[in-house]
Structure 1
């Protein structure tokens, strides 16, 4: 069984990393909470995202996409997390996949992939999952988005101003009135298997984003431990620091295995099985990402507590990603309930 990325996927990973690094460099995190750029990419940056094909690769060819696998998409998501890209790529990809699952017109989906229309996914007030009602609904990863669609009603809603959110690289916005620029859509509700697959799809992308975030924090902590000296020796020579980094490495690699399995399952297994695999992966990644990012701040020491250091960006992205589409407590509870019902 092949359990590693193909040569094409590794090449794609490298190209995604280069563009993600470039996009991240254009975002200004400032010197304090009142000096930070909103996570809205400028027109040139968004044009590069569109031209890269990131928004299209996961959709079917008849809808203007490339029909890529979910593993391919998680390769992209992991690089976005690694560089903490402040551009709503995952939100746009999830919104497009949701509409495709609900059999939206191909013309609408092609508008999304061409960058002519920017939509965000609508989640419930607790951000645990996609919502079918406007009551308390929030558009996630919605920086620069024009609207969010509630597929159950086929209505696109305008979006309000961004709300306070732990992750400064993503925007959460409340839904407003129906959009005057988008007519009501006639959509078809998916079957249970397709609906479960959609849930697994979203969870797999969030897991990969958390993987990239924790890998970035660990890599930076390792580099710091190699160069920072105390008592005449690199701090990486101290056993306490080594233990923190070794534990982080184990959690990162375990999350990587869970992430790849979750992504593979979305395309290879029935929807209910794929959703279970995705819940397991998201639960593990949610806890592990926060632990690794917190340990990285310990390794950085005093500088890790400052705004100028990037450590707080990784930690805040990890905390937010932990909650979005459900944290470990939510998914472990669902899995336990399912197991008890079958016993």
Structure 2
């Protein structure tokens, strides 16, 4: 694999970065004042919501690497728009199911969809089995996608986010969450496309995990950068706190952890469209395990570097931590990923 971004990917990174900086959450107060609709429209106009829409030959408009580039930029800015939920997870699920027109609707930006996850957010909801669960990253969405068993595979169904769902406050302050507490009858739900095979589900999960990792990497890198800049400016005992060896070690260890996660994520994003589905999924699980293992450590270290102010609600540090910890939980934390990798290595399943 080529470990460096090519010229077009660099341009994509710059465009995504410009949009992310315009909609960045620089302090918790911005969560109430940011124009989320404008940020979403900017992403749509730049074509960034349709990266996984297929052409006539079934090829996605962009690779997993490009999706990861955008996800990292939005994660770095803590941008409060449902890019992962609607533009990546939902769009990819519809595209793989052959529901091209529905995927293109999401890519245009006028319509949004979330993803229905089970009770602990570790997997897509399977109906009617999962009697409790959450619609995740569903800001502005009228429906969420779930799976039902069907001849030939798993069928994608569209679940209306109506009165059966209750908006709830999640740990992540930048994404919307809605809970359902009663069984959902799949018989009356609209089906989208054809049933997905196990290989197609593996391909979808590989992209989903890689995108979640990219978002986490963006959150961690941005947090570390802010902490380093603060350490250069904060004066204590007449000198910058960055001159203290203990603070230097904290910054260095956080940086190394974030960059190691970025390396694993880059490989996982490349693998999505290049390797066989099972191999791509293993690469993505490896990256998710790596990101999950360091997400809390890195972001909480950043809070410590900021000192007392970093522990307050008014500071941005805890928003980084909350988003990273939620990314860690969605589709399984590091323990879940390592167990699945072990299952594959030991049993071949």
Task: Identify whether the pair has TM-score above 0.5, normalized to the shorter chain.
Answer: yes
CA shift for structure 1 position 115: 2.0
Q: What residue is the counterpart of 1:24 in the other structure? A: 24
Q: CA separation in 2, counterparts of 1:247 and 1:154?
A: 43
Q: What residue is the counterpart of 2:160 in the other structure? A: 158
User: Is 2:4 the counterpart of 1:4?
Assistant: yes
Q: Of 133, 150, 161, which aligns to 2:127? A: 133
Change (3 A) 1:65 1:277: closer
- Indicate if the aligned counterparts of 1:225 and 1:236 stay in contact, CA closer than 8 A: yes
CA shift for structure 1 position 245: 0.7
Q: What residue is the counterpart of 1:54 in the other structure? A: 48
Q: Of 321, 337, 341, which aligns to 1:331? A: 337
Change (3 A) 1:124 1:244: same
CA shift for structure 1 position 132: 2.4
Matches of residues 277-316 of structure 1 in structure 2 within 5 Å? Answer: 277-316=283-322
Give the structure with the higher percent strand.
Answer: 2
String of CA shifts for 1:220-241, please: whole Å, max 9, x gaps. 0100110111111111111100
Q: Of 224, 239, 250, which aligns to 1:218? A: 224
Matches of residues 1-343 of structure 1 in structure 2 within 5 Å? Answer: 2-25=2-25, 29-30=28-29, 37=32, 42-62=36-56, 67-92=61-86, 93-104=88-99, 106-134=100-128, 135-152=131-148, 154-159=156-161, 160-175=165-180, 184-342=190-348
CA RMSD of aligned residues (A): 2.5
Q: CA separation in 1, counterparts of 2:306 and 2:21?
A: 22
More deviation, 59-68/275-284: 59-68
Q: CA separation in 1, counterparts of 2:298 and 2:245?
A: 17
Change (3 A) 1:284 1:42: closer
More deviation, 252-261/46-55: 46-55
Q: CA separation in 2, counterparts of 1:315 and 1:58?
A: 29
Aligned residue pair count: 334
- Indicate if the aligned counterparts of 1:28 and 1:37 stay in contact, CA closer than 8 A: no
CA shift for structure 1 position 146: 0.8
Change (3 A) 1:236 1:81: same
CA shift for structure 1 position 46: 2.5
Gaps of 5+ in 2: 149-154
Change (3 A) 1:190 1:154: closer
CA shift for structure 1 position 129: 1.6
Gaps of 5+ in 1: none
Q: CA separation in 1, counterparts of 2:306 and 2:110?
A: 43
Change (3 A) 1:219 1:186: closer
